């Protein structure tokens, strides 16, 4: 018999009863169907395996001793054929040793003949509760992994499809990767995607912003230190290279690394070992390095600010992210993704954006790229009073933006490139100060640069807070 029960809607679960005695098979089949289960039966191990190969079975109840093959044989075969199926073995009184062996091989539980139906009912319910919990945990892990892989790395443009393809290719290798792109394009998200699609996904992903930590502390963060190495080193500390061993170390803003630290980084890359500050012992490391920069490192190398040997060690494979202005067809997709996310986070019933608002986003140049879009959508959702975001909820910079800044033409007399770039950079710094209300750390975050770098640029270009000007 292999009919399935379920006279009222979906069965509670799909069970397989395996026993060489027909009377026992029929008794269990009648009882379990009354309990609301779909039941199949088999008279031996080979027939049971055929069921497992062809049907989705949640739980097997099998006799331990059968003429040709035993319940243990079935358990071992089922691990390959249907590893998600749980197993309950039934053994005769006085032969529990074989049942215990089955438990060691992965059986959920065992019953001793003669057993009470209430006892069987409880064991089955507990086994299925465990399976349900296990399935839910697996589903949540897969969902979280999917979300982490796709988080903000969204786009159907050709440029982004090429990025996705390259991520998949480089993830399978152990090669160091350099992710290049403007601030706000999602370089760390790409680094995480590379890690999570690699065979190192179960180990640590460790990220550090090389431009956000003072140089005198950065060496200790990367390589660790021993007790007494310097004032304040009250105990041994593991560095991030060690923490990331077996996994991935993401070095963001690698172009900010000082020359002395570049030398130490080169040694770590070449020797696959590091030495903690103040230590005399080398420690082996096995961290895949993914680095990122918004600078043109080849120009930094040409001008002597970045070591060529370090550059070539990091830049085995380069993955360049396009700025948002070069993939504007992705703006509606990204905007809707952020709207859904912030509606949940902020508890707002916001469902979308109207056509006029989308038109204004399309006309805007997005110097801050995806990060800027994310920030302005969060602002719009927070201020929204209804289900649709209109142009009134977009920041003034977007609403007043020209359709597209014209590309400067180079006349026969030439142009002053340094002056043009400085003017553009100055306008961005001033706009960031306006949007942040003069809070420089927030302005630096809006531009995707470190506070130290922001302060340096202000001083270099002589920028004052435009809110206080005049």
**Pair (54, 166) in one structural domain:** no
Is the Cβ–Cβ distance between 277 and 220 less than 8 Å? yes
Residue 7 counted as domain residue: no
Q: What is the CATH number of the domain that holds 346?
A: 1.10.8.60
Distances (CA, A) of 7 to 10, 35, 49, 56, 411: 8, 11, 26, 19, 84
Residue 426 counted as domain residue: yes
Query: Looking at residue 152, what is its pLDDT?
Result: 52
Q: What is the CATH number of the domain that holds 458?
A: 1.10.10.60
In this structure, of 12-16, 98-102, 251-255, 315-319, the range with the lowest mean pLDDT score is 98-102
Sorting pLDDT into bands at 50, 70 and 90, what band is 255? very high
Residue 64 counted as domain residue: yes
**Pair (164, 285) in one structural domain:** yes
**Pair (298, 349) in one structural domain:** no
Q: How far apart are CA 199 and CA 311, in angstroms?
A: 25
Is the Cβ–Cβ distance between 451 and 440 less than 8 Å? yes
- Please report where in the chains the tokens 């902020």 appear, as a residue: 346
Residue-by-residue DSSP string for 354-403: -HHHHHHHHHS--TTHHHHHHHHHHHHHHH--SSEE-GGGS-HHHHT--S
**Pair (41, 103) in one structural domain:** yes
Residue 169 counted as domain residue: yes
Residue 147 counted as domain residue: no
Q: How many domains does the chain have?
A: 4
In this structure, of 91-95, 368-372, 419-423, the range with the lowest mean pLDDT score is 91-95
Q: What is the CATH number of the domain that holds 245?
A: 3.40.50.300
Query: Looking at residue 5, what is its pLDDT?
Result: 39
What percent of the chain is helix, strand and coil (3-state, nearest 5)? 50, 15, 35
Which of 80, 110, 140 represents a domain boundary (last residue)?
Answer: 140
Residue 3 has pLDDT above 60, yes or no: no
Distances (CA, A) of 326 to 11, 155, 167, 420, 442: 53, 12, 19, 21, 26
Residue 448 counted as domain residue: yes
Q: How far apart are CA 342 and CA 452, in angstroms?
A: 30
Residue 88 has pLDDT above 90, yes or no: yes
**Residue among 142, 138, 158, 159 at smallest CA distance from 150:** 142
Helices (H), 105-254: 117-150, 158-171, 187-196, 215-223, 240-243
Residue 1 counted as domain residue: no
**Pair (19, 42) in one structural domain:** yes
Is the Cβ–Cβ distance between 225 and 276 less than 8 Å? yes
**Pair (156, 249) in one structural domain:** yes
> Phi, psi (5° rounding) for residue 413?
-80, -15
Residue 390 has pLDDT above 50, yes or no: yes
**Residue among 356, 366, 340, 349 at smallest CA distance from 391:** 356
**Pair (170, 317) in one structural domain:** yes
Model confidence pLDDT, tens digit, residues 283-293: 999 999 999 99
**Pair (163, 307) in one structural domain:** yes
**In terms of residue numbers, what domain contains 68?**
14-140
**Pair (190, 210) in one structural domain:** yes
**Pair (270, 175) in one structural domain:** yes
Residue 143: count other Cβ atoms within 10 Å of its Cβ: 10
Q: Can you give the pTM of this predicted structure?
A: 0.55
């Amino acid at each position: 018999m292999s009919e399935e029960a379920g006279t009222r809607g979906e069965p509670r679960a799909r069970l397989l009863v395996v026993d060489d005695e027909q009377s026992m098979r029929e008794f269990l089949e009648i009882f379990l169907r009354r309990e609301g289960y779909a039941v199949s039966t088999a008279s031996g191990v080979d027939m049971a395996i055929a069921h497992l190969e062809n049907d989705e079975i949640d739980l097997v109840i099998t006799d331990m001793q059968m003429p040709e093959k035993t319940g243990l044989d079935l358990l071992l075969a089922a691990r390959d054929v249907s590893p998600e199926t749980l197993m309950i073995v039934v053994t005769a009184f006085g032969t529990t040793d074989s049942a215990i062996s089955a438990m060691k091989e992965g059986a959920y539980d065992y019953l001793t003949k003669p057993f009470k139906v209430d006892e069987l009912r409880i064991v089955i319910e507990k086994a299925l509760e465990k399976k349900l919990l296990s399935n839910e945990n697996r589903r949540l892990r897969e969902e979280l992994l999917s979300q982490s892989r796709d988080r903000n790395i969204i786009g159907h443009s050709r440029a982004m499809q090429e990025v996705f393809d390259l991520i998949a290719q480089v993830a399978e290798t152990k090669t160091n990767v350099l992710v290049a792109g403007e601030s706000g394009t999602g370089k760390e998200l790409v680094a995480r995607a590379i890690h999570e699609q690699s065979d190192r996904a179960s180990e640590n992903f460790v990220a550090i912003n090389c431009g956000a930590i003072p140089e005198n502390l950065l060496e200790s963060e990367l390589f660790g230190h021993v007790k007494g190495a310097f004032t304040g080193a009250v105990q041994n500390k593991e560095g991030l290279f060690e923490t990331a061993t077996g996994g991935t170390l993401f070095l963001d803003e690698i172009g900010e690394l000082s020359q002395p630290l570049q030398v130490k980084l080169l040694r770590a890359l070449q020797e696959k070992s590091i030495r903690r500050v103040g230590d005399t012992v080398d420690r082996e490391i096995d961290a895949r390095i993914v680095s990122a920069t918004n600078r043109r490192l080849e120009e930094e190398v040409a001008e002597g600010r970045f070591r060529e040997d370090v550059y070539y060690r990091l830049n085995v494979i380069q993955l360049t992210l396009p700025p948002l202005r070069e993939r504007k067809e992705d703006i509606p997709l990204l905007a809707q993704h952020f709207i859904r996310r912030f509606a949940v986070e902020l508890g707002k019933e916001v469902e979308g954006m109207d056509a006029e608002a989308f038109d204004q986003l399309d006309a805007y140049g997005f110097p801050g790229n995806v990060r800027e879009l994310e920030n302005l959508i969060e602002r719009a959702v927070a201020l929204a009073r209804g289900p649709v975001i209109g142009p009134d909820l977009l920041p003034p910079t977007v609403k007043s933006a020209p359709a597209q800044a014209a590309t400067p033409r180079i006349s026969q007399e030439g142009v002053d490139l340094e002056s043009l770039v400085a003017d553009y950079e100055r306008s961005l710094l001033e706009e960031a100060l306006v949007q942040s209300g003069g809070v420089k750390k927030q302005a630096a975050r809006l531009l995707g640069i470190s506070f130290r770098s922001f302060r340096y640029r202000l001083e270099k270009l002589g920028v004052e807070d435009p809110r206080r000007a005049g």
